[in-house]
Amino acid sequence: MYTSIEICAGAGGQALGLEMAGFSHIALVEYERDYCKCLEHNRPQWNVLCKDIHDFNGLPFRDKADLLAGGVPCPPFSVAGKQLGAEDERDLFPQMLRLVEEIHPRAVMIENVRGLLDAKFNGYRENILRQLSLSGYNPHIQLLNASDYGVPQLRPRVVIIGIRKDLDDTFLFPQKAQEPPRTVGETLYDLMAANGWKNATQWRKQANRIAPTLVGGSKKHGGPDLGPTRARAAWAELGIDGKGIANEAPAADFEGMPRLTPRMLARLQGFPDNWSFGQRKTTACRMIGNAFPPPVAMNVGLQIKQVLEHERTYHRSPETVSSRVAI
């Protein structure tokens, strides 16, 4: 089992995916109390530190973690925001880079929105990669689409990986799944039909594509809905009313376009059905919409684990040591 520390842990999407990949979490740092409660409820065994990342000292964890991961806040680079980048007070890349120095993990994993690749952020992005290199890591960066890893949703995300330079850098981003993801109709049919909705089968045929990118929003902005006008139009093509979120599946005699429930949103994000987000709908929707899909995190985590296992097998086995001495 390999160890990890995660910052900006949110509702646990990345942490869950890394757990599925074989990582044991030493600590998960999250600022918002609702998110902390979510993590603590779903994984009581996790060491959740509910605190501001600016107040988190990584030195006590130095050389104790194989991986430092984090989905730092995306508003500074999101097209849905003002794209202030480094001038945005929510930009936590400097804190991540500070913790890389303090914790000195064997690998680093950072997730952010596609906007980070925009030309206006070229200098900022290159500086992040340069700082990782100066800290002793070989950086890798790639845009990954969640739909390439079984998630029934159009969700592009930038993933930055750093492999410490004293390790053999054999890292490769995960290959795309051979099979396409299930459609929204296939993914949600049983939930839509839970109350005997008579039009569920017909709806499943209409919802014959993957979902648009789910949105979460912030405390100040973003209610329980599926996004702005353009996004709602895309949802309407799937037979879904994006103007709000429902408490339960449509009734048997329901007519018109149904709304999604938080559980449906979570499934579209790749969470297991037993992952709880609490009872407050607005908060739950924000947690789910801001999450990193667990299947994507798992696939990236498996690739990182291959690097660590290569290092452990090749450089630490007695046979290898003996052969090197003999040479």
Residues assigned a catalytic role: 74
d(CA 262, CA 276): 10
Residue from 240, 234, 183 nearest 213 by CA: 234
Give Cα 198 to chain centroid, integer Å: 35
Residue found by looking up tokens 């990118």 in the block: 213
